[in-house]
Amino acid sequence: MVPVFKAKEDKIMKKIINHPSQVVDEMLKGMLYAHSDFLEGIDETRVIIEKDKQPTVGLVSGGGSGHEPAHAGFVGEGMLRAAVLGEMFTSPTPDQILEAIKASDTGHGVLLIVKNYTGDVMNFDMAKEMAEMEDIQVASVLVDDDIAVEDSTYTAGKRGVAGTVLVHKILGHFAHEGMALNDLKSLGDALVTDIHTLGVALSGATVPEVGKPGFHLGESEMEYGVGIHGEPGYRRDTLKPSREIAKELTGKLMSEIMTKKTKKIGLLVNGLGATPLQELYVFYNDVIEELAKYDVEIVFNKIGDFMTSIDMTGLSLTVIRLDDDKRTVALEAPVGVLNW
């Protein structure tokens, strides 16, 4: 019996797990035990899929584990058809994605929603090529909402973070309404250009198999612009009051979204895993007061943990352009998933 998990540097990792290498599989088993009324697994894979598949385009998403409730918590009627779970913070492999695609297709094709990371893009691309060889229609939408990262030919481009969940919800609604694959793809491609996110961290995330935080922040430090895998951000600073964090994030996000003369927006305040809900609301209060400076109407909001980074403390703010009311309707539509 190994009662404690010695990490590097002999630090003990405080987690309720059995063994670092078993976390993903045991979590998956736990999910299937808990939600077998409407979800099932696919043998020999780490795919979680709806039991009851409507004859519509199937939305498949996924990525590394560690972002729970993303993505399995969003599988169900009106959102995703299947989620593919990779190793912790590591994209799933093409064969697993392929199984999810095959099982999700009802003859209407499959839409992949992929977060923009080199690994995810390549693995989903390979799966798409394999599925096409099996004559399944597949399209994909790439989400790259994280404006902390420069988008240029000299980088891998912006990352996909919490805004991905809004893409799941909006496209999931239209798929559920019977929209065709091509139309979903065009709608999705336009949508992702209207979603922008910025995150801050107060501490790094600890991958169980690594055993120590991905980065270390000093006792009075925070970092602006972190990614959801412990990617470093654009600035390290002393810990600031919520009001100032709200000011910095809304400022950057609004200047991005106002390039399109936006009149209506939606907000997503996303906890990164270990942040109390009370802090998300304190922060939301500051965001709203900050937004009084802008001539925009807030027509949608969502506050909670949606795209986490294991046990990171911090949050992200997502702003989505909602001038097209159809998007808002899609966001507000009832849905049969666990964690929306």
Partner 1 sequence: MELTGDKAKAWLLNFEAKIQEHKAYLSDLDQAIGDGDHGSNMARGTEAVKVNLEKIAEPETAEVLKQAAMALISKVGGASGPLYGSAFMQMAKTAKETTDIHELIEAGLEGIKHRGKADVGDKTMVDTWAPVVEALAKDALTNEAITQAVDATKPLKAKKGRASYVGERSIGALDPGAVSSGYLFTALVEEVLQ
Catalytic (active-site) positions: 67, 229
Contact 47, 232 (CB under 8 A): no
Distances (CA, A) of 37 to 13, 24, 43, 339: 34, 21, 17, 15
Contact 96, 84 (CB under 8 A): yes
Q: Residue 3 or residue 55: which is nearer to a copy of itself going by CB?
A: 3
With vertex at residue 91, the alpha carbon angle to CA 272 and CA 330, rounded to the nearest 5 degrees, is 60
Task: Give residues 210-239 in contact with a copy of itself (rule: CB under 8 A).
Answer: 219-220, 222, 238-239
Distances (CA, A) of 230 to 56, 155, 214, 309: 36, 17, 6, 8
Rounded to whole angstroms, the Cα distance separating 310 from 328 reads: 29
Q: Is 155 a residue that touches ligand ADP (CB under 6 A)? A: no
Rounded to whole angstroms, the Cα distance separating 138 from 275 reads: 37
Q: Is 45 a residue that touches a copy of itself (CB under 8 A)? A: no
Stretch that binds partner 1, among 80-88, 265-273, 319-327, 330-338 (CB under 8 A): 80-88
Q: Is 118 a residue that touches ligand ADP (CB under 6 A)? A: yes
Min dist CB 14 to ligand ADP, Å, is 25
Q: Is 91 a residue that touches partner 1 (CB under 8 A)? A: yes
x/- site string to a copy of itself, residues 163 to 202, per CB under 8 A? -------------------------------------x-x
Q: Is 69 a residue that touches a copy of itself (CB under 8 A)? A: yes
| 150 alpha-carbon distance from chain centroid | 19
Through-space distance between the first and last CA atoms of the chain, rounded to whole angstroms: 38
Count of residues touching ligand ADP (by CB under 6 A): 2
Contact 12, 5 (CB under 8 A): yes
Rounded to whole angstroms, the Cα distance separating 75 from 37 reads: 13
Min dist CB 119 to ligand ADP, Å, is 3
Among 74, 124, 224, 283, binds a copy of itself (CB under 8 A): 283
Q: Is 90 a residue that touches Mg ion (CB under 5 A)? A: yes
Rounded to whole angstroms, the Cα distance separating 289 from 286 reads: 5
Contact 13, 7 (CB under 8 A): yes
Using CB under 6 A, list all residues that contact ligand ADP. 118-119
Give the residues lining the site for Mg ion (CB under 5 A): 90
Task: By CB under 8 A, name the binding residues for partner 1.
Answer: 64, 86-96, 117-119, 122-123, 125-126, 149-150, 154-156, 159, 207, 209-210, 214, 227, 229-232
Residues that bind a copy of itself (CB under 8 A): 1-4, 11-12, 14-19, 22-23, 26-31, 33-34, 65-66, 68-69, 73, 200, 202-203, 219-220, 222, 238-245, 273-286, 288, 301, 303-305, 308, 310-311, 313-315, 339
